[in-house]
Structure 1
Amino acid sequence: MGFFRVDLFADDEGRRFVVHCWPREFRSTQDPAWTVHCHAWPVESMILTGRLRDTQFVHEAADERIPPGVLYLAGSAPDGMSELKRTGEAVRLAGSVDAYREEREFYEIGLDAFHESVVGARGHCMTLARIGRRKVQPARVVGEPGAPALLRYHHEAVARQLLRDEFRAAGLTT
């Protein structure tokens, strides 16, 4: 996805509050960099600084013009690596909401809603997100037909100085 996440806290209802940050000089994505996904929880988000392109999708099973993707389940392995496991289920998605989100703008991503958040290579964005309680189903990612059945990757560590610089640039610290 190209961002790093900072966990802030959880409330008494089990919702988590996190900061997502796409810095100007750092993009860390898995390989292959599939970005269309849905969460195992609802997400409410507000842009603190910068902007992003938010595309939300709907199923279009009958539209043969849309190339199919294959669903992968996202999870963690016992060794701490992240995994994507192919389900074999084909899916056809079409964009239903395609908007640029700007500073101070609030938007939601519903449970089971496929979406993609993109920040340009030279751009930046920082969001404050409230993540709802996890549901039973795992997060899902739309992959390419013919890709491996199992993909494993690790998240690149983010240098503390980069964290400080991004929070300072956003006016969140001195």
Structure 2
Amino acid sequence: MKTNALDHINVLLNNIDTFAVSIQPLWHPLGFVSCVIRDNPGKPILRVHYWPPNERRTKNPDWPVHTHSYALSSLVLHGNIEDIQCEIIDGEEYSIYKVSYFNGDSEITRTDGKASILNYNSEMRIEGEQYRVERGVFHQSVVKLSESAVTFVALSESSCEAPLVLGENGDHRYPYDRMPFNQEVFWSAVRYAISNPIIQNLAKNT
């Protein structure tokens, strides 16, 4: 049975006061802010993602197309997300990098693999909409720099396979330090997002 983020939204709504004082959000290598609110064995991992207006902190180099080692279900709480999912083939357009995690930070390491993008499927996801990115699918999520967005994410069907990134044939490895983001600003944005009547009505019906 597939996990849907909406099925777990009340974890966020019912516990936001506790989360706001106890959980520190961090910048993610893809330029948004990420906050894990639940990571318990046997249950879907729950996170909140925030794209602050006019501010991003992407990894350098900024290579946004990537996979996950889990299935991702995302519920848009505020703003609009361009969900771009890619079909790749063997080719020479990109080098494939592998993601590793250590001490709360991460790095990407170049593998021997090469790939090209065959086609893109782009969909605009709006407030109250839920969408999925299956495990191993190359994709990226785009929010205009001048705009903000908040999503609630449930991760399931985890595997031991490392996430992958499409990049140029650059250095062998690139590290990324996951720096803290202003906790008050983050949780204020989340409170505003979940006050949306669309989200409140969805939560009542779960």
Query: TM-score band (shorter)?
Result: 0.7 to 0.9
Aligned-pair CA distance for 1:82: 1.3
- Cα RMSD (Å): 2.0
Aligned-pair CA distance for 1:8: 1.5
Identity %: 24
Query: Structure 2 matches for 1:23-172, cutoff 5 A?
Result: 23-61=52-90, 68-77=93-102, 79-145=103-169, 147-172=170-195
Aligned-pair CA distance for 1:80: 4.3
Change in Cα spacing, 1:166 to 1:93, as seen in structure 2 (3 Å) is same
Deviates more, 1:97-106 or 1:9-18: 9-18
Deviates more, 1:8-17 or 1:117-126: 8-17
Query: Aligned with 2:31: secondary structure?
Result: coil
Paired with 2:145 and 2:189, the residues of 1 have a C-alpha distance of 16
Aligned-pair CA distance for 1:149: 0.4
Task: Specify every segment of 5 or more residues in structure 1 that has no aligned partner in the other structure, as ranges.
Answer: none
TM-score (norm 1): 0.87
Query: Aligned with 1:36: secondary structure?
Result: coil
Task: Specify every segment of 5 or more residues in structure 2 that has no aligned partner in the other structure, as ranges.
Answer: 1-29, 197-206
Asked whether 1:4 is paired with 2:33, we answer: yes
**Which residue identity lines up with residue 123 of structure 1 in the other structure?**
E
Query: Aligned with 1:24: secondary structure?
Result: coil
Paired with 1:84 and 1:134, the residues of 2 have a C-alpha distance of 19
Paired with 1:50 and 1:60, the residues of 2 have a C-alpha distance of 32
Paired with 1:80 and 1:123, the residues of 2 have a C-alpha distance of 28
Contact 1:55/1:95 (8 A) holds in 2:
no
Paired with 1:41 and 1:51, the residues of 2 have a C-alpha distance of 23
Query: Aligned with 2:57: secondary structure?
Result: coil
Aligned residues: 167
Change in Cα spacing, 1:4 to 1:172, as seen in structure 2 (3 Å) is farther
Which structure 1 residue ranges, 4+ long, deviate > 4 Å from structure 2? none
Paired with 2:90 and 2:55, the residues of 1 have a C-alpha distance of 36
Aligned-pair CA distance for 1:169: 2.9
Paired with 1:95 and 1:28, the residues of 2 have a C-alpha distance of 27
1:27-69, Cα deviation, whole Å (9 max, x unpaired): 111101110000010101110110111110112337xxxx611
